[in-house]
């Protein structure tokens, strides 16, 4: 039996899942059904978020800041370490405009405009978690940030007091390198260089975590001994709770990066696909 529109809404709110053909919704054709059903699901999602935050203690609005300049400052060392000088400004321009903080002022527009309904559901939970509100489902993913295409979404909590070795902005920005094609931003593309960086599919999370942690070690330490001491300190703490990351390999990559003249290049070398391999799966 075909589910009713109300049942479709309830299923989407509790799981993020929906019928890709929107058959529950009225319309003269598939396009009309998709437009009507998609709008209904997004509005229901926004209403659910408002309901869960009605009595929550919302965080103060982040202080006014130039988000582009802030982001560029965060990612500049990574870009300078990974790209030749003549490409750096193009990459910094993309990354500088990539970040959206999820706040009471931005969340409605984000949920309305993000292309995929499944992503909108994840972002709703990311926002709710960031303000300590009830999630839409007990098994909703516990995200610290999310990147899609060339956009990075971060909780306003990021601007608070992150862990000593945490930088979710750098982590999510690192994913843009394998999501964005070089020709999209006007860079020369070759048969073996289609994406900004060629990252082996299985090591994308390892690459992002390594960039995140190395960026903090790089910022906090001056000189080899200082950075080795910071890595030793980091190694005693909790490791990424992510089954896509081999912790031993991850720490070995960081050891190589800390010891190298250009640690960013060592991280890339360890996470690149084998010669002749394919780095991007559709």
Question: What is the domain partition of the chain in residue ranges?
Answer: 67-100+152-271
Assign 107 to helix, strand or coil: helix
pLDDT of residue 12: 96
Backbone angles phi and psi of 60, in degrees to 5: -60, 145
**Nearest Cα to Cα of residue 214 among 156, 266, 153:** 266
197 pLDDT higher than 50: yes
Residue 255 Rama label (left phi>0; alpha psi -120 to 50; beta): alpha
CA distance 18 to 10: 10
Instruction: Name the burial class of residue 264, with classes exposed (0-12), middle (13-18) and buried (19+) by CB atoms within 10 angstroms of its CB.
Output: buried
> Bigger pLDDT: 230 or 141?
230
pLDDT of residue 282: 27
What is the distance of C-alpha 171 from the center of its chain? Answer: 7
pLDDT of residue 65: 64
pLDDT of residue 155: 87
1 pLDDT higher than 80: no
CA distance 47 to 52: 9
The Cβ of residue 167 has, within 10 Å, a number of other Cβ atoms equal to 21
Whether 182 contacts 227, CB under 8 Å = no
């Amino acid at each position: 039996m075909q589910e009713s529109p109300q049942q479709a809404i309830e299923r989407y709110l509790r799981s993020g899942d929906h019928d890709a053909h929107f058959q529950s919704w009225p319309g003269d054709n598939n396009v009309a059904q998709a437009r009507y059903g998609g709008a209904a699901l997004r509005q229901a999602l926004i209403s659910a978020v408002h309901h869960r935050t009605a009595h929550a203690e919302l965080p103060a609005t982040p202080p006014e800041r130039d988000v582009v300049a802030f982001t560029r400052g965060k990612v500049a060392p990574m870009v300078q370490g990974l790209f030749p000088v003549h490409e750096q400004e193009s990459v910094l321009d993309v990354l500088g405009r990539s970040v959206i903080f999820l706040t009471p002022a931005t969340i409605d527009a984000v949920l309305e405009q993000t292309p995929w309904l499944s992503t909108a559901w994840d972002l709703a939970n990311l926002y709710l978690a960031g303000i300590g509100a009830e999630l839409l489902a007990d098994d909703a993913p516990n995200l610290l940030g999310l990147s899609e295409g060339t956009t990075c979404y971060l909780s306003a909590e990021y601007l608070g007091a992150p862990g000593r070795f945490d930088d979710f902005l750098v982590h999510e920005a690192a994913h843009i390198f394998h999501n964005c094609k070089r020709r999209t931003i006007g860079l020369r593309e070759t048969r073996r260089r289609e994406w900004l960086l060629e990252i082996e599919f299985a090591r994308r999370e390892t690459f992002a975590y390594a960039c995140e942690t190395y960026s903090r070690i790089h910022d906090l330490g001056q000189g080899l001994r200082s950075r080795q001491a910071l890595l030793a300190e980091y190694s005693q703490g909790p490791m990424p709770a992510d089954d896509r990351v081999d912790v031993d390999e991850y720490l070995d990559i960081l050891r190589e990066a800390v010891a190298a003249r250009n640690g960013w290049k060592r991280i890339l070398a360890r996470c690149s696909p084998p010669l002749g391999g394919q780095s991007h799966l559709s």
